[in-house]
C-alpha cells in the first residue's frame, strides 16, 4: 500500500520543465560538486531540515579529491543516521563525472580549484608587492578566477552533457568572474549564481540592532562582493529602516553574529564597513568594498606570513578532518562541529523556490540587461531577483546609479571582462590590462610582477597565456 501511495505521489507531482520534459518535484537526485568542501555539512543540515519543501531521496558527493570526498561521505552518512534518514536517502560518493551527473535534478556547486594551498599563494604573492591579497578581491581574486573558471566550466559541461534539465546552483567563487565565463560559454544553462554575503550582512545587522530580516525587502545593486544597499523596506513597520540603521552604525559597533563568533577577521570587516558608511554616507556598502576603497589599510593590517587561508586551514579545515576522524573511530559524544549561519538555508531557499515556484526574492548575479539602467547590458551584476520554476526574474532598479558607484563598477567590470577575455583568448596582454585596471592596483609595475609570479605559481591550473 505504501509502495502504491509513493508511486502515485511520485507521478502526481511532476510538471513541465525546460525542453517540454516533465520536471521532477519529488524523489530528487542532488549532486554536490566539490563534495569534500567544508561547507557540505552545513548544506546537508539545511537539506535535512528542508525535506518537506525539497524532497530529495539521493545525494551524491562529487569531487576530484577522493580522500576529501571520503571524509565528507563518512560525516554525511553519520548525519543521516543521526536523523534516522539512512533508509530514506541514498548516499553516494564518486570522482567519476558521468556517474555523478547522470540523472541529477539539482547540482550545488562549491569548488575551490587548487584548494587552500593555492588560496594561500593568492593572498601572499600580492602582499609581497604591498598590494591586497584576498580570496575573491584584488589580484588574488583574479588568480583564483583563472583557476576557477576552468574548473567550473568543466562542471557546467558535465551538467550540459549528462543532466541538461537539471538546475545548477552555483556559489563557487569568484562569482562575477565564473558567472561571466559561463554566460559566454553556456548562455542557456539552467543556473543560478548566488552569494551569501548580503544575507550575512543583513543577518548580522538584524541580530545586532533587533530586527527580523525576514520582514525585509532590501534594494541593492553592484557587482558580486562590490555593491550597495539603497533601502531596506521593513514590512513589520511599513517603512525604509536603512536611514536608522546607518545612524546606529555611526554610533554603535557591529559585532559578529554567532555564526562567525570568535572570528576576528569578520569583526575587522564590520569595523571597516562602519568606516565606509562614515566617509561615504547614505548607502550601506558590501563589506568587501574595503579592499577597493582602503587597500592601504588592508595591507597594513594583514600579516604577510599568516593570512586568511592560514586561519581557515588551521580552523575550519582541521575541524572538518577532526569530525571525519571521530566518525571513523566511532567516538561517543558531540562529533558535529560547524556553524555557517544562513549559508545552507540560503541555498535551500533558492532550490525550494525553483521547485515550488515560490517567487521568493534573492540577491543574484545575473546579466544586467537593463536592471541597472545606466550600466552596460552585458555586465554581470548582483541585484534582487524573484526565483521560480523558470529561474531568475531580476528586478529593474528604475533609477540611474550615481557617478561614484558607477565609476567604480565600470572600472572593476572592465577589469573582470578583460580577465575573462584573457582566459578564452589565452592573452597575456589582456591579463596584464586586467591586472593593471583592478581597483586595488596603483601601478602597472606591480601588476606585471604579480602576474608573472602568478603564472609560475598557478602552472597548469591556469590557461597558457601568450
Ligand X SMILES: O=P(O)(O)OC[C@H]1O[C@H](O[C@H]2[C@H](O)[C@@H](O)[C@@H](O)O[C@@H]2CO)[C@H](O)[C@@H](O)[C@@H]1O
Is 119 annotated to bind a ligand? Reply is yes
Q: Determine contact, residues 402/410, Cβ cutoff 8 Å.
A: no
Q: What is the DSSP string of 143-168?
A: HHHHHHHHHHHHHHHHHHHH-TTSEE
Decide if residue 200 touches ligand X (CB under 6 A): yes
Q: Candidates 46, 75, 191, 195: give the one binding ligand X (CB under 6 A).
A: 195
Dist. CA 101–CA 94, nearest whole Å: 10
Nearer to ligand X by Cβ, of 140 and 341: the residue is 341
Select the residue interacting with ligand X from 70, 135, 234, 382 (CB under 6 A): 135
Is residue 175 within 8 A of residue 225, CB to CB? The reply is yes
Residues 56 and 48: their CA atoms lie apart, in Å, by 9
Residue from 211, 288, 292, 423 carrying the catalytic annotation: 288
184 is in an annotated binding site: no
Beta bridge partners of 226: 223
Q: Distance from CA of residue 120 to its chain's centroid?
A: 19
Say whether 27 counts as a known binding-site residue: no
State which of residues 195, 375, 401, 465 lies at the interface with Mn ion (CB under 5 A).
Answer: 195
CA distance 216 to 219: 10
**Binding site partner of 65, from ligand NAD, Mn ion, ligand X, none, Cβ cut-off 5-8 A by kind:** ligand NAD
Q: What is the DSSP letter of 196?
A: S
Q: Report the partner that residue 417 touches, choosing among Mn ion, ligand X, ligand NAD, none (CB closer than 5 to 8 A by kind).
A: none
Q: Nearest distance from residue 429's CB to ligand X, in Å? A: 29
Asked if residues 423 and 112 have their Cβ atoms less than 8 Å apart, the reply is no
Catalytic status, residue 288: yes
Residues 35-64 that bind ligand X (CB under 6 A): none
Q: Which stretch binds ligand NAD (CB under 6 A): 61-69, 120-128, 231-239, 265-273?
A: 61-69
From 63, 70, 105, 196, the catalytic residue: 196
**What's the rounded Cα separation, in Å, for the pair 133 and 38?**
22
- Pick one of Mn ion, ligand NAD, ligand X, none as the site partner of residue 367 (Cβ within 5 to 8 A by kind): none
Among the listed residues 35, 126, 222, 341, the single contact to ligand X using CB under 6 A: 341
Which residue has cell 547540482? 107
Q: Return the ∠ at Cα 87 (arms to 83 and 90), rounded to 5°.
A: 100
User: Is 173 annotated among the ligand-binding residues?
Assistant: yes
Among 39, 73, 108, 423, binds ligand NAD (CB under 6 A): 39
When asked if residue 197 is in the footprint of Mn ion (CB under 5 A), the reply is yes
Residues 46, 349: Cα–Cα separation, whole Å: 9
Q: Which stretch binds ligand NAD (CB under 6 A): 43-51, 80-88, 106-114, 373-381?
A: 106-114
CB atoms within 10 A of CB 16: 10
Q: Does 274 bind ligand NAD (CB under 6 A)?
A: no
Cα–Cα distances in Å, from 277 out to 39, 143, 149, 201, 249? 31, 29, 33, 14, 8
When asked if residue 394 is in the footprint of ligand NAD (CB under 6 A), the reply is: no
Partner whose footprint covers residue 63, from Mn ion, ligand X, ligand NAD, none (CB < 5 to 8 Å by kind) = ligand NAD
What string marks each residue from 121 to 150 as x (binds ligand NAD by CB under 6 A) or -?
A: ------------------------------
Answer yes or no: are the C-beta atoms of 232 and 216 closer than 8 Å: yes
Contact 374, 399 (CB under 8 A): no
- Rounded Cα gap, residues 458 and 442, in angstroms: 23
Residue where the block lists cell 508511486: 7
Interface with ligand X includes 340 (CB under 6 A)?
yes
Q: Figure out which of the listed residues 105, 123, 196, 421 binds ligand NAD, where binding follows CB under 6 A.
A: 196
The beta strand positions in 368-427, using DSSP E, are 380-388, 391-394
Measured CA to CA, the distance from residue 93 to residue 108 in angstroms comes to 14
37 binds ligand NAD (CB under 6 A): yes
Q: Which of 78, 101, 142, 171 binds ligand NAD (CB under 6 A)?
A: 171
Q: Does 195 carry a binding-site annotation?
A: yes
Which residues of the chain form contacts with ligand X (CB under 6 A)?
Answer: 135-136, 173, 195-197, 200, 259-260, 308, 312, 340-343
Instruction: Please report, in range form, the residues annotated as the binding site for Mn(2+).
Output: 195, 225
Q: What positions carry a catalytic annotation?
A: 196, 288
Q: Which residues contact Mn ion (rule: CB under 5 A)?
A: 195, 197
Amino acid at each position: 500500500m505504501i509502495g502504491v501511495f509513493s508511486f502515485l505521489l511520485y507521478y502526481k507531482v511532476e510538471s513541465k520543465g525546460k525542453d517540454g520534459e516533465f520536471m521532477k518535484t519529488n524523489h530528487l537526485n542532488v549532486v554536490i560538486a566539490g563534495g569534500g568542501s567544508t561547507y557540505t555539512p552545513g548544506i546537508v543540515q539545511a537539506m535535512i531540515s528542508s525535506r518537506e519543501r525539497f524532497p530529495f531521496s539521493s545525494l551524491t558527493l562529487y569531487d576530484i579529491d577522493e580522500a576529501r570526498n571520503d571524509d565528507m561521505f563518512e560525516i554525511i552518512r553519520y548525519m543521516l543516521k543521526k536523523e534516522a534518514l539512512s533508509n530514506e536517502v541514498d548516499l553516494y560518493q564518486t570522482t567519476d563525472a558521468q556517474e555523478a551527473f547522470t540523472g541529477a535534478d539539482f547540482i550545488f556547486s562549491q569548488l575551490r580549484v587548487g584548494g587552500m594551498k593555492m588560496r594561500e599563494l593568492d593572498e601572499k604573492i600580492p602582499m609581497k608587492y604591498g598590494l591586497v591579497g584576498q580570496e575573491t578581491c584584488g589580484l588574488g581574486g583574479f588568480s583564483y578566477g583563472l583557476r576557477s573558471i576552468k574548473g567550473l566550466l568543466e562542471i557546467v559541461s558535465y551538467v550540459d552533457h549528462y543532466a541538461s534539465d537539471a538546475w545548477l546552483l552555483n556559489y563557487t567563487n569568484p562569482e562575477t568572474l565564473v558567472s561571466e565565463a559561463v554566460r559566454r560559454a553556456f548562455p542557456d544553462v539552467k543556473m543560478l549564481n548566488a552569494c551569501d554575503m548580503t544575507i550575512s550582512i543583513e543577518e548580522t545587522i538584524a541580530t545586532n540592532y533587533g530586527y527580523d530580516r525576514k520582514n525585509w525587502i532590501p534594494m541593492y545593486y553592484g557587482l558580486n562582493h562590490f555593491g550597495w544597499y539603497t533601502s531596506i523596506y521593513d514590512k513589520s513597520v511599513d517603512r525604509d529602516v536603512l536611514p536608522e540603521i546607518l545612524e546606529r552604525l555611526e554610533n554603535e559597533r557591529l559585532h559578529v553574529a554567532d555564526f562567525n563568533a570568535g572570528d576576528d577577521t569578520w569583526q575587522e570587516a564590520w569595523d571597516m564597513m562602519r568606516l565606509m558608511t562614515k566617509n561615504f554616507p547614505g548607502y550601506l556598502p558590501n563589506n568587501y568594498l574595503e579592499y577597493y576603497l582602503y587597500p592601504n589599510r588592508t595591507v597594513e593590517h594583514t600579516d604577510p606570513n599568516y593570512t586568511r587561508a592560514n586561519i581557515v586551514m588551521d580552523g575550519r579545515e582541521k575541524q572538518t578532518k577532526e569530525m571525519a576522524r571521530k566518525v571513523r573511530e566511532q567516538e561517543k559524544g558531540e562529533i558535529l562541529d560547524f556553524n555557517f549561519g544562513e549559508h545552507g538555508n540560503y541555498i535551500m531557499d533558492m532550490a525550494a523556490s525553483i521547485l515550488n515556484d515560490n517567487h521568493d526574492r534573492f540577491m543574484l548575479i545575473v546579466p544586467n540587461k537593463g536592471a541597472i539602467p545606466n550600466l552596460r547590458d552585458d555586465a554581470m551584476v548582483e541585484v534582487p531577483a524573484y526565483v521560480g520554476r523558470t529561474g531568475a526574474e531580476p528586478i529593474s532598479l528604475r533609477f540611474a546609479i550615481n557617478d561614484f558607484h558607477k565609476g567604480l563598477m565600470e572600472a572593476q567590470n572592465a577589469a573582470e571582462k578583460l580577465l575573462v577575455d584573457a582566459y578564452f583568448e589565452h592573452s597575456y596582454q589582456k591579463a596584464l590590462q586586467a591586472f593593471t585596471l583592478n581597483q586595488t592596483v596603483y601601478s602597472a609595475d606591480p601588476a606585471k610582477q604579480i602576474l608573472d609570479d602568478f603564472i609560475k605559481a598557478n602552472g597548469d591550473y591556469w590557461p597558457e597565456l601568450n
